[in-house]
Chains A and B, each alone.
Chain A
Amino acid sequence: MASSSSSGLTFKLHPLVMVNISDHYTRVKSQMNPPVTSTSCSNTNGNGNGAPAPPPRVYGCVIGVQRGRTVEIFNSFELLYDSATDSLDRAFLLKKQELYKKVFPNFYVLGWYSTGSDAEESDMHIHKALMDINESPVYVLLNPAINHAQKDLPVTIYESEMHVIDGIPQLIFVNSSYTIETVEAERISVDHVAHLKPSDGGSAATQLAAHLTSIHSAIKMLNSRIRVLHHYLVAMQKGEIPYENSLLRQVSSLLRRLPAIESEKFQDDFLMEYSDTLLITYLAMFTNCSSTMNELVEKFNTAYDRHSRRGGRTAFI
């Protein structure tokens, strides 16, 4: 059902959306299967403490901004969908939309999300239902199964396209690629929670250590990626791998960008920024030193001062 999308829209996904969906799913799952330790839980499930019920699918709406060909998904909220009767709670959706409009006036409903491992036929109903709000909604699917072996995000974005199958024009889902977009504040908080750094303002040393660790891992990542590319190119040169021209073009364009940082202008800018940082550190250290100096002088004065004391008590040395 899923082939590559051809609509030419670029999708940008914010990490907040993923955390939102994951939280929604965890909540519903946890409420359905109360933890084993709570003894006074009211177990409506009827499954008892044995095998947990299969996790339910949760549904929700994604909102964001569409500028030209770029679709940026910022936020999301839950939807009420009854899978037995295939009905979407419209009043709820409108109410929620209104509430979110008040706080985020720029965001529009861009589509909907769900959890599961693959897009299903029934999803098309919801998709069609949302088409009257947005004529081409997107469908974000999150796979909640935790598989530690996978390296890629378990999130897929689908669009709907009209294809002719068996002579009948049908809407089917097609896969689209997306990128992760983040603002600085979002990145910092995601980073913070991802590595659960000490948050109580521990000593400056631990904060610095944590910051340097994250920079170090980023650089390590860059290094490993470049290494992979290098190996690939060497193998291509030896003839082990068939030539792939599009990849070679991309690599060469990347390499052509590198000399840009050798220019004199860059050196000047870099040196200026470098000296700025050094100067600030120096000024700060200097202020520190003058205050220590001040304290020393005060102590000296208090111990050895002759002028202020009346009544003849000479300083002892």
Chain B
Amino acid sequence: MDPYPSSSQIAQKTWELENDIVSVDTPATSSSADAASDAIFYYDDVAQAKFQQEKPWANDPHYFRRVKISALALLKMVVHARSGGTIEVMGLMQGKTDGDAIIVMDAFALPVEGTETRVNAQADAYEYMVDYSQTNKQAGRLENVVGWYHSHPGYGCWLSGIDVSTQMLNQQFQEPFLAVVIDPTRTVSAGKVEIGAFRTYPEGYKPPDDPVSEYQTIPLNKIEDFGVHCKQYYSLDITYFKSSLDSHLLDLLWNKYWVNTLSSSPLLGNGDYVAGQISDLAEKLEQAENQLAHSRFGSLIAPPQRKKEVRALFCCFWIFKRYLLNMRACHECFYFFITCKVSMFDLKSKSCVISDCPLCYPLWSNLFLV
């Protein structure tokens, strides 16, 4: 063995230090450590009933702050969400509470689809839910339903207007209840799980200002729905847990599916989604440009320079749109974009042809040359 730490080890240690990684040391053959990590699986119904009666959340709308999701629940939810393709799917989650954390142990799918237009989708699924819960109790899963999840394929993790009203209803009658949203399309294209857990504020409650969360792009057709309701709910931190047997199995599983990691290519798998995103971006830019050109102060402040910026941005949109047209024509055209010649109007000469060189050099030069 190398006496000096290799550069990769140094890099790893630096990364761990920078990100405050706290590793939970589980000694290999200690059964007490196994018991500790598996303790979360024990369902103590006496403590749970007591908690239900106390209702500490009734006084504090921001009571629950964390969510712990089990490996099994996550896997089931993501697979179910992905299997729906572009249709929204939904299901319920079972679990328990633990102080200010909601623990999700399992999830199951509901046989309803397309919930965006139906507020009472859950009413249809009640019979299914009751049957399923009964069979589960017999089979040894004692937890109660503690939330619901649904998917937003391709348009991000947030609660729409209907979701907000459904969740508010749930929080009145079925406390404690949690809403989880999964985006399977973004999961596959980004390579990391897109998931968000939310709880709504009660009607009329004004929340203290949230710190700005990480930006996520939302398609234009949904952005109004997002904006109107985004202050009515807050998101909870999500952590995951797994049992010792799960970790063991997953470690061994790695030996088998490392091939899939290498052979996966998000570009190939999600071509339509990428096209959609780019078209959406182009539309947003166009809207921004329109607002810029028509704003009241636009005509007062330095018109020539403003026009130049507008035209510069417009050229940008033009390129995006041209790109987009090619993509819409056919999937393989994605690859032909590079080879097709894009002509664009620069500000001096009327046309120039770009093949693969810095296509924005004329733009830059014109922006700087006053």
Contacts and interface: CB of A to CB of B under 8 A. Distances in A.
The answer to whether A and B come from one shared complex is yes
B321 interface: no
B367 A301 contact: no
B1 interface: no
A16 to B, nearest CB: 5
Nearest to B139: A78
Q: What 5 A-B pairs are tightest by C-beta distance, nearest first?
A: A78-B139, A185-B82, A35-B39, A30-B41, A194-B250
A209 interface: yes
A23 B106 contact: yes
B86 to A, nearest CB: 14
B144 interface: no
A154 to B, nearest CB: 7
A193 B257 contact: no
Nearest to B320: A283
Nearest to A42: B46
A186 B42 contact: no
Given A103-B109, A200-B237, A92 B253 contact: no
Interface of B: 15, 19, 28-29, 34-36, 38-39, 41-44, 46-47, 70-72, 74-76, 78-79, 81-82, 106, 108-111, 128, 131-132, 135, 138-142, 184, 187-188, 191-193, 195, 214, 237-240, 242-262, 264, 267, 269, 300-302, 305, 309, 312-313, 316, 319-320, 334-335, 337-339, 356, 360, 367
Interface residues of A, number: 95
A279 B323 CA distance: 11
Interface of A: 15-16, 18-20, 22-31, 33-38, 40-42, 77-80, 92, 95-96, 99, 102-104, 144, 146, 148, 150-154, 179-180, 182-194, 196-202, 206-207, 209-211, 214-215, 217-219, 221-222, 269, 272-273, 275-277, 279, 283, 286-287, 290, 293-294, 297, 301, 305, 307-308
Could you tell me the dominant secondary structure of chain A's interface residues? Answer: helix
A307 B302 contact: yes
B129 to A, nearest CB: 10
Contacts of B78: 185-186, 188-189
A24 to B, nearest CB: 8
Contacts, number: 245
B300 A189 contact: no
Contacts of A187: 257, 260-261, 264
Given A19-B246, A26-B243, A275-B338, A102 B128 contact: yes
Given A99-B132, A197-B192, A221-B258, A272 B47 contact: no
A38 to B, nearest CB: 6
A193 B262 contact: no
B187 A276 contact: no
A222 B254 CA distance: 12
